[in-house]
Amino acid sequence: MRISRMSFALPLLLIAAMGTAQNVPTEANLPVRRVVLFKSGVGYFEHRGRVHDSQQVNVSFTSAQLNDVLKSLTVLDMGKGRITGVSYNSTAPLAQRLQALRLPLGGETTQAKFLSALRGARVEVRNGTAAVAGKLLSVESREVKRKDDSTTSVDTVSLVTEAGEVRSFELNPATAVRVLEPSLNEEIGRYLSLVASTREQDVRRMTIDTAGAGERELFVSYISEVPVWKSTYRIVLPEKANGKSILQGWAIVDNTVGEDWKDVQLSLVTGAPQSFVEPLSTPYYARRPVVALPQTAMLTPQTHERTLESEPAGSAEGASIGTGTGGGVGSGHGAGVGPGTGGGFGGGSYRVGGGVSAPRVVYAPELEHADDAHGQYQASLLAQSAASSTQAHDLGDLFEYKLDEPVTICKDQSALVPIVQARVDVEKVTLWPAADGKPLRALWLSNSSGLTLDGGSFNVLESGTFAGEGLMDPIKPGEKRLLSYAADLGVVVDTKRADSQPQRVTRAHIEHGVLTQLTEWREEQTYTVRNQDTAPRTMVIEHPVRNGFRFPSDSPQPVESTASAHRFRLTVEPKSTATLKVTEYHPLSVTYELTNLTGDQLAYFVQQRTVDAAIEKELRGILARKDALAAMEAQIQSRRQEVAAIFEDQQRVRENLTALKSSAEEKELIERYTRELNRQEDRVQALRAEADELQRQRDAAKAQLDTAIQELALDATL
């Protein structure tokens, strides 16, 4: 039978090794003090605590948070100290990280392997009262026979003393091995830290190194991906008819980060500020260009262009670098270095913790006027009202629920936290939705709480018991919203649409030479509601919204309208029936240019009674003037046609004159043709004069008609 004694000696060895570490800064965990959760799935975390002199502080988070922490980490030493560095345990495999150590050990080791890795190191072996120091030579295992003839394995350690003696010791529970080399002790400590990190593979521990004198406050903030917080409400209906209902709101918060939230200031913000994931923790290599090696070549003499204009000495921009106060590159407090102006962080105005976000400063060498800044910082955190357990604030498009009392939520746990407790106005109604036509019990809730109600689920309690539940969208202060929570089995609704009425003209309007006839297409829909219950019902009937349709003044009007439905209120007494007749019309318009109006169109308007007597009289006057213009046009055209005919006849006479000779008979014919031409010329001149006069009269009449048409303005309801 083999009995191993490794488990007894190894703890003594490790404790002895760690106990000799010197000059290691004290470590402390920096607790989370403030958490702001957003609906976009990100959270803002603030850690605050006291540090003393040069101290290391730890902040724990999960591997999933690493990228968000790296791109948003803010670290501020609020006293006269400085941040010397920030480190965190790597995400590389353990075997790869152990390769960076001088100890040839793997992730899993034994006492013999561990001591074998220390060969050549100065150690002290103590067994009982004997203590021997020297360099470790070897670790051996041998079989030892017991009195009962059984065998067991015994480990022995050998070392060479300073006197040159080789001493061997059996490793048993009474044997202790202490490493005497400080540097090797530090290496052993690193090894144990790496091995210990494997117990929490998903947890990353960030270590912040501070340097300074005295006690001061340290501030750390970052954003991280977190589960979206959810809202749920309770609505307790009053026993009296005129009483107000109680609205109680809860938020469901999940803590999935790497540490507990103990006595944190919790704020819940509705809205979705922009955020993204950037893989900063993943190594990234840029592609570099390949440049060919230069070739040696002899230079050829060359000439250069001459200078046309020269710059006066000392006028070049950027000639002075680092001069002046508070602005140049060489100044101690350059403009734009850190928040604020006037040199360093203390000279400007900045706040940490007063709002939802803090200024992002990763490294602050010093903070002038740190006491004043610290006082403003604490005042901004403590300035809050104690009137209720939750404060609500508008943040632009966002809305914040800030809990007055600290909250404790352990990691990997969830909690319900109260966000709303108020009395609101609620009216119990029966909703007949336009979507599916099934009556629903609903609440017409007026948000008189003064708070923005985040969207979520709700439960209704009526007469001391559960009445139903439903979902609601975000509700702004003063907004009224219908919330359905159960089916109404005591109401039956029937709907019937009447045949569409023919299109008819309702109004005629003349302006700027245009006749506009307004027409409408009417439709009616009747809702019949039967209340079979013993209590009256206030019905809210949703009528679908149709593009272009309106309600006439003699029809019931909706009490409110949404993007898809008009809502009508109807009261139905017990064991009775009520009806709601909804009339809609679709307005249309037809236009006519009066200058293009014809007698047939006017006769049609009069026959269909789409114009009244006054409009008919004016239109007939316009038609009469148009007929007079047409007669003038005909006369002008007649005279122009006669002139054209005379021109054709004159052309014939001239051709005949050209063919005649100088005989006595032909001379007589020439004289007759000449008299005919003279008579025709007189007629042409007379016709042209008449045509010009008719044209002038026609233009004057046309101008008068155009003026009359433009000045005509009539409006008639038919």
Cα(262)–Cα(410) distance, rounded to whole angstroms? 7
The answer on pLDDT for 234 being more than 90 is yes
Residue 392 has pLDDT above 80, yes or no: no
Residue 694 is encoded by which pair of tokens?
């008719």
* Number of domains present in the structure of the chain: 3
In this structure, the answer to whether residues 5 and 24 fall within a common structural domain is yes
Please return the burial class of 15, using the count of CB atoms within 10 Å of its CB with bins 0-12, 13-18 and 19+: exposed
582 lies in the same domain as 678? no
Lowest mean pLDDT among 132-136, 321-325, 454-458, 558-562: 321-325
Quickly state the pLDDT bin for 464 (edges 50, 70, 90). Answer: confident
CB 188 within 8 A of CB 181: no
Contact, 543 vs 582, CB < 8 A?
yes
Amino acid sitting at position 54: S
Query: Which comes out higher in pLDDT, residue 199 or 539?
Result: 539
Q: Which residues pair with 427 in a beta bridge?
A: 444
261 within a domain of the structure (yes/no): no
**pLDDT class of 176 with cuts at 50, 70, 90:** confident
What is the reported pLDDT for 527? 94
Q: Which positions ≥6 away from 74 have C-beta within 8 Å?
A: 219, 220, 221, 222, 358, 359, 360, 361, 362
CA-nearest of 525, 514, 502 to 588 is: 502
Instruction: Take residue 457 and report the two structure tokens written for it.
Output: 């689920």
CATH number, residue 607:
1.10.287
- Tokens read off for 401: 């629920």
How far is Cα 700 from Cα 695, in angstroms, rounded to an integer? 9
Percent pLDDT > 70 in the chain is 76
Per-residue pLDDT, 612: 85
Model pLDDT, residue 94? 61
57, 31 in Cβ contact below 8 A?
no
| CA nearest to 188, candidates 101, 122, 120, 100 | 101
Res 414 pLDDT > 80: yes
CA 627 to each of CA 630, 702, 705: distance values in angstroms, whole numbers, following the listed order: 5, 11, 11
- Beta bridge partner(s), residue 218: 49, 77
Give the pairing type, strands 230-236 and 456-462: parallel
Nearby residues of 704 by Cβ (< 8 Å), 6 or more positions away: 625
Rounded average pLDDT over 188-208: 71
Going across the sheet that includes 56-62, the strands are 27-29, 56-62, 203-211, 82-88
Same domain, 15 and 97: yes
Report residue 101 as tokens: 């150590």
Poorest-confidence range of 179-183, 190-194, 366-370, 501-505?
366-370
Compare 367 and 629 and report the one with higher pLDDT. 629
**191: confidence class by pLDDT, cuts 50, 70, 90:** confident
Exposure letters 479-502 (e unless 16+ CB within 10 A, then b): eebbbbbeebebbebebeeeeeee
Question: CA-to-CA distance for 542 and 459, rounded, in angstroms?
Answer: 24
Residue 103 pLDDT class (50, 70, 90 cuts): confident
Domain shared by 678 and 703, yes or no: yes
Same domain, 582 and 686: no
Does 618 lie in the same domain as 536?
no
590 and 603 belong to one structural domain: no
447 by DSSP, 3-state: which?
coil
For residue 269, being part of any structural domain is answered with: no
Tell me, yes or no, whether 215 lies in a domain: no
Fill in the amino acid letter for 293: L
> Does any domain span residue 648?
yes
- Orientation angle between helical segments 182-197 and 6-18, nearest 10 degrees: 120
* For residue 394, pLDDT beyond 70: no
The per-residue pLDDT for 119 is: 84
> Cα dihedral angle (180, 182, 187, 189), rounded to 10 degrees?
90
**Cα–Cα distance for residue pair 135/126, rounded to 1 Å:** 14
For residues 74 and 83, give the distance between their C-alpha atoms in angstroms, rounded to a whole number.
Answer: 11
588 lies in the same domain as 623: no
Is residue 158 located within the same domain as residue 11? yes
End-to-end CA distance of the chain: 118
pTM of the model: 0.56
**Residues 6 or more apart in contact with residue 520 via CB below 8 angstroms:** 503, 504, 506, 585, 586, 587, 588
| Same domain (yes/no): 692, 615 | yes
595, 612, 638 - which closes a domain: 595
Whose structure tokens read 């629920």? 401
Strands 215-225 and 203-211: unpaired
Query: Do β-strands 390-395 and 440-446 pair in parallel, antiparallel, or remain unpaired?
Result: unpaired
Bridge pairing between strands 32-38 and 261-270: parallel
More confident residue, 360 or 449: 449
pLDDT, position 144: 77
Q: State the pLDDT confidence band at 201, using cuts at 50, 70 and 90.
A: low
Confidence bin at 387 (pLDDT 50/70/90): very low
Whether 149 has a pLDDT exceeding 60, the answer reads yes
pLDDT over threshold 90, residue 538: yes
**Residue 364, in any domain of the structure:** no
Give me the pLDDT at residue 580, please: 94
With a cut of 60, say whether residue 332 has pLDDT above it: no
What is the percent of the chain with per-residue pLDDT over 90, rounded to a whole number?
Answer: 21
Q: Which pLDDT does position 275 carry in this prediction?
A: 78
| 574 and 677 together in one domain | no
114: nearest Cα among 2, 16, 3, 1: 16
Q: Which of 595, 615, 635 represents a domain boundary (last residue)?
A: 595
- Segments forming the whole domain that contains residue 696: 599-717
Boundary residue ending a domain (563, 595, 627): 595
- Which is more confidently placed, 651 or 45? 45
Asked whether the beta carbons of 595 and 625 are under 8 A apart, the reply is: no
pLDDT in tens, 210-219: 898 888 999 9
- Look at residue 235 and tell me whether its pLDDT is greater than 90: yes
- In this structure, of 21-30, 185-194, 379-388, 693-702, the range with the lowest mean pLDDT score is 379-388
Instruction: Report the chain's mean pLDDT, rounded to a whole number.
Output: 77
Q: Which region among 511-520, 576-585, 604-613 has the lowest average model confidence (pLDDT)?
A: 604-613
Angle at 614 (CA atoms; ends 613, 616), nearest 5 degrees: 60
**pLDDT of 328:** 33
pLDDT of residue 347: 33
Report whether 701 contacts 622 (CB < 8 A).
no
Q: Would you place residue 376 in the very low, low, confident or very high pLDDT band (cuts 50, 70, 90)?
A: very low
What single letter denotes the amino acid at residue 591? T
Backbone phi, psi, residue 155, to 5° = -95, 135
Neighbours of 235 (CB within 10 A): 25
Using the predicted structure, report yes or no on whether residue 208 has a pLDDT greater than 70. Answer: yes
The answer to whether the Cα torsion of 339, 345, 350, 352 is positive or negative is positive
Is 654's pLDDT higher than 70?
A: yes
Asked whether residue 584 falls in the same domain as residue 626, the answer is: no
Mean pLDDT check: name the lowest of 95-104, 155-164, 472-481, 577-586. Answer: 95-104
Q: If you average pLDDT over residues 550-573, what whole number do you get?
A: 91
Average pLDDT value for residue range 358-387: 34
Distance CA 321, CA 442 (A): 73
**How many CB atoms are located within 10 Å of the residue 140 CB?**
13
> Does the pLDDT value for residue 361 go beyond 60?
no
Residue 97 within any structural domain of the chain = yes
Query: Is residue 643 included in any domain, yes or no?
Result: yes
Mean pLDDT of 28-53: 89
Instruction: Confirm whether 256 is domain-assigned.
Output: no
- What is the β-pairing status of strands 82-88 and 203-211? antiparallel
pLDDT of residue 24: 43
